[in-house]
C-alpha cells in the first residue's frame, strides 16, 4: 500500500520546483546574455562597421581562424578596427563578471597598440579601453580579458583599463560606462600600411556560485534529513 505524502514532503517538492523555475528564468533579466560572431558568411559584416573614417572593413569569406573574418585596412591617418552597436554586444552588462575574447592577425604593416574599447551612451561621449596587445603577428592569436562591470574606477585601472584620455575627458565612470555601452570596439593603431584581421569575437558571462544552487542544495539536505528520520 502506498503511504500518503507527508505535508512537509509535498511542501519541499513544491518549493524546489518553484525555485528551479525561477532560476531558469534568471538569465533573461540580463540586458546582455552573451554574444559571439565568427564572420563566416562572405561579404557580411554581421552588424559591425569600420570604427573610423579611415577604417575600410570587409569580409573575404575565407582565411579566418576557421572560415571568414572581418578584415580592416587603413585608408588614412586614423586608427583602424571595427565596432558594433548591436544590442547583444552593448547596453548594460549588469553585475555579472564577463570575459571578452577575440582572435587577431596582422596582415600588413606593423601595430603599436590593439585595444578593446567600450564607449558610453552615444557619440558625444568617450569610453574606457584595455590594451589587448602591442603587436600583432602574422598568425592568428587569441586575446582575452575578464572584467567586472561593478568595479570602481581605481579597480578598473588596477586591472589595466583606462579612459580614452589620461585626464578622463569625455568619459564617465567605469561602472556608469558599463551600465550603458554605446559601442563595443576593437581598435588598432600602427603604421600607414596597416591591415589586420578580426575573428571569433565573443562576450561571455563568467559562471559564479549561484544563490539558487545554494538554496536548492539546502532543500536537498532537508529532504535527506527528513528521510533519515522516518
Please measure the distance between the N-terminal and C-terminal CA atoms of the chain and give it in whole angstroms: 17
Q: Is this prediction's pTM over 0.85? A: no
Mean pLDDT computed over 108-134? 98
Top pLDDT among 19 and 143 is at: 143
| Spans of all domains in the chain | 30-217
Q: What span, in angstroms and rounded, lies between the C-alpha atoms of 38 and 62?
A: 11
Q: What span, in angstroms and rounded, lies between the C-alpha atoms of 125 and 182?
A: 9
Cβ neighbors of 225 (< 8 A, separation 6 or more) are none
Q: What span, in angstroms and rounded, lies between the C-alpha atoms of 177 and 149?
A: 9
**Residue showing cell 565596432:** 83
CATH, domain range 30-217: 2.60.120.260
What confidence tens digit (pLDDT) does each residue in 16-69 have?
Answer: 555 445 444 443 334 457 999 999 999 999 999 999 999 999 999 999 999 999
Mean pLDDT computed over 96-105? 98
Instruction: Find the range with the poorest average confidence among 11-15, 87-91, 114-118.
Output: 11-15
Partners of 124 in beta bridges:
none
Cβ neighbors of 145 (< 8 A, separation 6 or more) are 99, 100, 116, 130, 132, 160
DSSP string, 198-220: EEEEEEEEPP---HHHHHHHHHH
Q: What span, in angstroms and rounded, lies between the C-alpha atoms of 184 and 182?
A: 7
Top pLDDT among 164 and 224 is at: 164
DSSP 78: S
pLDDT band at 207 (very low <50, low <70, confident <90, very high): confident
What confidence tens digit (pLDDT) does each residue in 149-178 have?
Answer: 999 999 999 999 999 999 999 999 999 999
Query: What does the pLDDT read at residue 215?
Result: 46
Residue 111 has pLDDT above 90, yes or no: yes
Instruction: Find the range with the poorest average confidence among 29-33, 40-44, 101-105, 129-133.
Output: 29-33
Q: What span, in angstroms and rounded, lies between the C-alpha atoms of 230 and 227?
A: 5
Whether the Cβ atoms of residue 72 and residue 56 lie closer than 8 Å to each other: yes
Q: Considering Cα of 50, then 51, then 56, then 59, what sign does the dihedral take?
A: negative
Partners of 70 in beta bridges:
198
Amino acid at each position: 500500500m502506498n503511504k500518503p505524502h507527508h505535508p512537509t514532503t509535498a511542501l519541499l517538492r513544491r518549493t524546489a520546483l518553484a525555485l528551479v523555475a525561477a532560476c531558469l528564468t534568471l538569465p533573461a533579466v540580463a540586458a546582455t546574455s552573451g554574444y559571439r560572431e565568427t564572420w563566416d558568411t562572405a561579404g557580411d559584416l554581421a552588424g559591425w562597421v569600420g570604427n573610423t573614417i579611415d577604417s575600410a572593413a570587409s569580409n573575404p569569406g575565407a582565411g579566418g581562424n576557421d572560415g571568414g573574418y572581418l578584415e580592416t585596412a587603413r585608408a588614412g591617418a586614423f586608427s583602424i578596427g571595427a565596432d558594433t552597436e548591436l544590442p547583444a554586444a552593448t547596453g548594460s552588462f549588469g553585475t555579472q563578471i564577463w570575459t571578452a575574447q577575440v582572435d587577431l592577425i596582422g596582415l600588413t604593416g606593423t601595430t603599436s597598440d590593439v585595444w578593446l574599447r567600450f564607449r558610453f551612451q552615444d557619440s558625444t561621449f568617450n569610453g574606457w579601453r584595455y590594451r589587448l596587445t602591442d603587436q600583432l603577428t602574422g598568425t592568428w592569436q587569441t586575446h582575452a580579458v575578464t572584467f567586472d562591470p561593478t568595479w570602481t574606477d581605481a579597480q578598473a585601472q588596477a586591472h589595466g583599463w583606462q579612459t580614452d584620455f589620461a585626464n578622463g575627458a569625455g568619459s564617465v565612470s567605469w561602472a556608469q560606462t558599463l551600465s550603458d555601452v554605446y559601442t563595443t570596439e576593437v581598435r588598432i593603431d600602427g603604421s600607414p600600411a596597416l591591415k589586420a584581421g578580426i575573428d571569433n569575437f565573443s562576450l561571455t558571462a563568467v559562471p559564479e556560485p549561484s544563490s539558487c544552487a545554494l538554496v536548492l542544495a539546502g532543500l536537498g539536505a532537508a529532504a535527506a534529513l527528513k528521510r533519515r528520520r522516518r
